Structure 1
């Protein structure tokens, strides 16, 4: 009986503590990554530092770049109809001119104009009055106005059909 008790002592039945330090190290690393991720989110999204300031050769190139940026937003469907159309606030992009000091501003207005008639649909009346589901077939106007050094300005107007 004595030998039986010696084999099943409390020390032998207790849980080993050898993996606890590894678990604690992994847990601390996860909290550190979570803190770094939160700091990155705060710096990029909340403070707006994620947008890089592009450098262009001229003010006209900056205005064309504004139209290209608006088209990318429309293609990715990140904006809603009339989100950046007056009287709402325009989309403001900062840019630089090569060989010049300072940053300049490009105001972009993206306005929903009308929608197209898809092939095979019958047209009733003067204009097609039913908006298509999913915002497909919409036509937008894009106006990009860039202001550069020494009161130089460039305005590009474009039409985009999605």
Structure 2
């Protein structure tokens, strides 16, 4: 098949005393995401979308949280390695659409930097990387600022 769609999702807890990385950008906040890596939910969701579209498994298959060498790894590296995996299979990315669910902080001003970071890593134009954000109107674990969620969809084309 020449065109493939992928979908990714990631969740992480928010805790104090952690940096808050989102879309490859360090965002000032009182909390950060907890995880084996830097816990960048957006980049993780994009990795899963890419890998899934190419039928290559998921982020945990390629970068398991049991691997000590990956402890605190920069998720931009995981994104680059995921891109290399799909490229080896002969795919290029057409576009990415993503949504973030978090109560705080407000990230509108950081979205252009996230788009640029992701576009640079994946050899895309900024206009091929859509990032949207919403709250959950203070409902659930996201609304209580206990965690955050990222969703990503991707369109791949066989070259």
Q: Give me the TM-score of the superposition, normalised by structure 1.
A: 0.26
Q: Which has the larger radius of gyration?
A: 1
Higher relative strand content: 2
TM-score, normalised via structure 2 length: 0.26
